[in-house]
Structure 1
Amino acid sequence: MPQLQGYLAQPGRPLKALLNRNKVERLADGRFLYASRPYQLLNFQLQPEVVFRSSWDGDQLTIVFEHCTIHGLGRLQDLVEFQCQAWIRPEQERLMAKADLSLEFSPNGAGALLPKPLLHRTGDLALGLVTDRLEKRCRTGLIKGARNWVARHP
């Protein structure tokens, strides 16, 4: 377990394994900027751009979205707010990850004109795309990154 703690102790390591390392930019104060590859959702080509904070407290790595812009929504951009908080902690010979996600649509302006069932269905589809991608990256990139790092730091 000390090896996995060492791996998570520098947030840039697991984040670059979890996300596309070429699209993760380290900012100041434990903050990062990430521009996702585009998603296709209904008639929209969406590309989330996220500023998030990541910190290691000795027991777990915490990732908190501070700001998320979803490019490609046009006039609907201001109606959508995406939030995420995630935790990755080491356990005996494994990593455990948990995330709380939310997608909220503002009921103001143009949002009031859209049917609620359409908003709910679109939100469910969007969250499904995000969670599928995150689960895949946890199972592949994060685990591969941790194994490679542990092998180099016995």
Structure 2
Amino acid sequence: MKRSQSVFLIGPMGAGKSTIGRLLSAELKVEFFDSDKVIEERCGANIPWIFDMEGESGFREREEQAIDELTQMSSIVLATGGGVVMREANRRHLSARGTVVYLCTSVEQQLARTAKDKNRPLLQAENPERILRDLFSARDPLYREIADIIIETDQRNPRWVVQELKRLIKG
């Protein structure tokens, strides 16, 4: 691994960042953090509540602060929120402070994985597929811009993805 020996997982909601992050941290024997969970713990409220009370911009401010602090830690695996790349400061911190892994997935896979999840404020709308396609268009180039490793997660077992990541990171 490079720089701080940390691995930062980026990608859209439903790509498997939290699941793969937990498994990868166990394999690498390092601590795991989920930036959304850290924000919720600090606020004492869940992400939908933060969006309701502070709007997306309020949430993004909190996220930027959390990313700055978390990426300064050494030897961690960090799962980030899908929109983390929308702020230039986050992209700069992630790419400068660890190995960035883009877990890429299709909109169809995202829909299947997030269909019943009420904890995703951006999808609480009439046409979640349209929202996911729009988010992909805006975010995919930014994910690719800072990624050291890109790996497809569609139809792949999380344990296979972790073994492949271990090989790529150490190689």
Question: TM-score w.r.t. structure 2 length?
Answer: 0.23
Higher relative strand content: 1
Higher relative helix content: 2
Between 1 and 2, higher relative CO (CA 8 Å, sep ≥ 6) is seen in 2
Structure whose CA Rg is larger: 1
Question: TM-score w.r.t. structure 1 length?
Answer: 0.25
